[in-house]
Structure 1
Amino acid sequence: MPEAPPPSRAEGAPLRTEEFDYDLPERLIAQAPARPRDSARLLVVRAEGLEDRGVLDLPALLDPGDLLVVNDTRVIPARLHGRRGDARVEIMLNRAEGGGLWQALVRNARRLRPGDEVAIEGAEGCVARVVEREGGTALLDFGPDQAALAVALEQAGEVPLPPYIHRKGGPRAEDAADYQTIFAKRPGAVAAPTASLHFTDRLLAALEARGVQRATVTLHVGAGTFLPVREDDPRRHHIHREWAEIGEDAAAAINAARAAGRRVVALGTTAMRVTETAAREDGTVAPFRGLTDLYILPGFRFRAVDALLTNFHLPKSTLLMLVSAFSGTRRMRAAYAHAIAREYRFFSYGDASLLFRCAQDLPA
């Protein structure tokens, strides 16, 4: 059983990162997805309580006319190994800046200086020039030939599995497919929008038969999604910017659903963040294309999204704070305690939860 939750924060007291901590037995960290994908478990979290279901029950849990907002980003093989002379570095591409420039997280970055060139192992002729470096991050220039870089990534890049998925010798062959969603179309993510990993052709057909509609957005998930909040006050944490887009068709579909009184259901926190980034004060959504660093903490006023399908998130993470803002901190604490007690599988390859918007907390 999980330990007792920390004491509740007094009304008006500062937000504390420790409120979003919990103990998780290592055996509950999923090392492979459910097979088939849609056989994963689903914890339904409503104001009136919790319900244990399965992902295949999702059509019955949604209403005809509900709009499912999905993210069509495609994970690239973003982890590279390189050399600058005798020094070895590991590069995790984070965000494309255009023209061959990439923001990257670099292990052993202290060996690098602006102007240095890093030869990418396993990709003959592929060289990254260091434009600037700050701490463990660097701006790298791979040159303007994007086709050549794409080939190099396929030759030398590794699937950027999160650090809690353990693989001796690197990712397995099946991870290339397992860590890609059924909606993946636009390359650019270095982490999967993991709620979408549960979806199959069978589930999509059942949702369509139920009358659930679908709109597609894009958010290229960055490596910062795995970074814990280290500040005692989470409001002082810096969230990395990510590239996102809502086209005219998606914005129109969201606005039509809201105007008709139908629910907007975000498939994953990435779809949630891009939708809320583009939301106006009145809840309508405008087309959007650019960078977002929307950081959702308890107290955030959601404008466009009514329900959220998402996996279980890391302790002290920005995503655990997001779901707490959506469904209430105490309610999510109770949901996670329930999931641990019932041995749900956690994190990227784990089980899912379906949350309905109810930001007010449970009574003390």
Structure 2
Amino acid sequence: MRAATVPMQRPRDARLLTVDRYGHIDERPRTAFADLLQPGDCVIANDAATLPASLHGIHERTGNAIEVRLAGRTSLASDAMNRFSAVVFGAGDFHTRTEERTAPPELQHGDRLIFGASGATIMRLLDHPRFVELRFDGDAAQVWRMLASHGKPVQYAHLANPLALWDVWTPIAAQPVAFEPPSAGFVLDWSTLDALHARGVPFATLTHAAGLSSTGDAILDQRLPLDEPYRIPVATAALVETTRARGGRVVAIGTTVVRALEHAAAIDGVVHPGDGVATQRIGPQTQLRAVDVIVSGTHEPDSSHYALLRAFADAPTLARVTATLEAHRYRTHEFGDSMWFERRADAVREEHASSERLRSCTAVYCA
């Protein structure tokens, strides 16, 4: 694979690698995405807009330059803007590979970080010297103004030029709550949504605060993905359940949609609407209960996004996928090419058997 170095969301030559439920691999233009859908399916996407979550400032106690990358929050409420978890770097910017960034000065409880005329206080260290909980000064309106004035999109060294905020907003972006773009949504545009409508495939959204894809620290990266809040509208939850009841496929645009839907369905297999926080890790041991297909970007084998794909395909299939991506030089990272993974056939059979067992147990209990 090769890094996508230009922030173009929908290049004309974008490709889509498809993996069906039996592990068969095919390649097609990404514009053919809608052709893979059938009447009875539904498509669910993350409508989170991306925050300017990278802040350059000063560590007041030492006077040293720092960069703060916001990484998490406990709620999607628009007025819950004072507390964030964050990863702190020393001086420098995205031109240096994240893994090679200098460490910040020693961080302590109570330290002040200054961003222009505003700032934040370190409330605690989160079991890592660069991972902290911050409380920002002022009310939510003041924090929004500070982000607008001093924040930039989180960015990595494979992109040579600074990102503009509109580079990282998908066409359906709504509430700004994501820390990095839910970039699987770059596959969508309005003509694609028209094509879904023409095929009788309903489309709905949820909101999930997509987190950082890398911290630059191997130990801290093992925690990814962090806990991420989400909100599932009543209409979206109802569409998922209607689709499942009629035997259609629930197609998730991105890993964040998978995390949200599967977390919401964890208790009884039913996607419940409302707010929640996705705390689970999805991987080879996960029995998917809500999602049948994931549309995702291409990912390196050591990433948390790649690990999530193990819930859809076994290790030998993923090895063949990686070999195909490498051999055909697919583009990776957020502006790269895309993949379509159907849940493997044996996993579908097991999920149906589990659902039948649950229904039988419920029937006996109710009787």
Task: Please report the TM-score for the alignment, with normalisation by the length of structure 2.
Answer: 0.81
Q: Distance in 2 between matches of 1:322 and 1:152?
A: 35
**For 2:214, which of 215, 226, 236 is the aligned residue?**
226
1:68 counterpart residue number: 43
Check whether the contact 1:110–1:136 (CA below 8 A) recurs between aligned residues: no
Check whether the contact 2:50–2:165 (CA below 8 A) recurs between aligned residues: no
State how 1:298-313 maps to structure 2 within 5 Å. 298-313=284-299
2:121 counterpart residue number: 129
Check whether the contact 2:122–2:133 (CA below 8 A) recurs between aligned residues: yes
Query: Cα distance 1:291–1:38, how it changes in 2: closer, same or farther (>3 A)?
Result: farther
Q: Distance in 2 between matches of 1:133 and 1:210?
A: 51
Check whether the contact 2:48–2:208 (CA below 8 A) recurs between aligned residues: yes
Classify the secondary structure of the residue corresponding to 1:132. strand
The runs of 5 or more residues in structure 2 that have no matched partner are: 75-79, 91-103, 348-367
Q: Distance in 2 between matches of 1:341 and 1:360?
A: 28
Query: Cα distance 1:354–1:199, how it changes in 2: closer, same or farther (>3 A)?
Result: same
2:19 counterpart residue number: 45
Matched, 1:295 2:281: yes
Aligned length: 323
State how 1:87-236 maps to structure 2 within 5 Å. 87-97=64-74, 98=80, 100-108=82-90, 109-120=104-115, 123=116, 125-134=117-126, 135-161=129-155, 163-167=156-160, 171-172=162-163, 175-223=164-212, 225-227=213-215
Shift of 1:237: 5.3
Shift of 1:114: 2.0
Shift of 1:230: 5.0
Query: Cα distance 1:35–1:244, how it changes in 2: closer, same or farther (>3 A)?
Result: closer
Shift of 1:52: 1.0
Shift of 1:191: 0.8
Check whether the contact 1:180–1:192 (CA below 8 A) recurs between aligned residues: yes
Shift of 1:48: 5.1
Q: Distance in 2 between matches of 1:196 and 1:353?
A: 12
Shift of 1:94: 1.4
Check whether the contact 1:327–1:360 (CA below 8 A) recurs between aligned residues: no
Check whether the contact 1:228–1:316 (CA below 8 A) recurs between aligned residues: no
Q: Percent identity?
A: 30
Q: Distance in 2 between matches of 1:35 and 1:63?
A: 25
Q: Residue 242 of structure 2 aligns to which amino acid in structure 1?
A: A
**For 1:276, which of 240, 244, 262 is the aligned residue?**
262
State how 1:53-64 maps to structure 2 within 5 Å. 53-64=28-39
1:4 counterpart residue number: none
Check whether the contact 2:40–2:246 (CA below 8 A) recurs between aligned residues: no
Check whether the contact 1:99–1:143 (CA below 8 A) recurs between aligned residues: no
Check whether the contact 1:38–1:198 (CA below 8 A) recurs between aligned residues: no
Q: Residue 119 of structure 2 aligns to which amino acid in structure 1?
A: V
Check whether the contact 2:183–2:297 (CA below 8 A) recurs between aligned residues: yes
Classify the secondary structure of the residue corresponding to 2:332. coil
> Which region of structure 1 is more displaced relative to structure 2, 292-301 or 238-247?
238-247
Q: Distance in 2 between matches of 1:81 and 1:229?
A: 19
Shift of 1:102: 1.4
Query: Cα distance 1:34–1:142, how it changes in 2: closer, same or farther (>3 A)?
Result: closer
Q: Distance in 2 between matches of 1:74 and 1:359?
A: 34
RMSD over aligned CA atoms reads 2.4
Shift of 1:290: 2.3
Classify the secondary structure of the residue corresponding to 2:38. coil
Check whether the contact 1:38–1:203 (CA below 8 A) recurs between aligned residues: no
Query: Cα distance 1:200–1:248, how it changes in 2: closer, same or farther (>3 A)?
Result: same
Classify the secondary structure of the residue corresponding to 1:58. helix
Q: Residue 145 of structure 2 aligns to which amino acid in structure 1?
A: V
Q: Distance in 1 between matches of 2:8 and 2:81?
A: 39
Q: Distance in 1 between matches of 2:227 and 2:178?
A: 12
Classify the secondary structure of the residue corresponding to 2:312. helix
Classify the secondary structure of the residue corresponding to 1:310. strand
Q: Residue 302 of structure 1 aligns to which amino acid in structure 2?
A: L
Query: Cα distance 1:100–1:280, how it changes in 2: closer, same or farther (>3 A)?
Result: closer
* Residue-by-residue CA offset, 1:149-193 (whole Å, 9 max, x unaligned): 1122111111112x253336xx14xx4222211121111111111
Shift of 1:239: 4.2
Query: Cα distance 1:302–1:229, how it changes in 2: closer, same or farther (>3 A)?
Result: farther
The runs of 5 or more residues in structure 1 that have no matched partner are: 1-23
Q: Distance in 1 between matches of 2:327 and 2:253?
A: 25
Q: Residue 158 of structure 2 aligns to which amino acid in structure 1?
A: I
Check whether the contact 1:33–1:350 (CA below 8 A) recurs between aligned residues: no
Query: Cα distance 1:217–1:143, how it changes in 2: closer, same or farther (>3 A)?
Result: same
Query: Cα distance 1:149–1:280, how it changes in 2: closer, same or farther (>3 A)?
Result: closer
Q: Distance in 2 between matches of 1:286 and 1:112?
A: 40
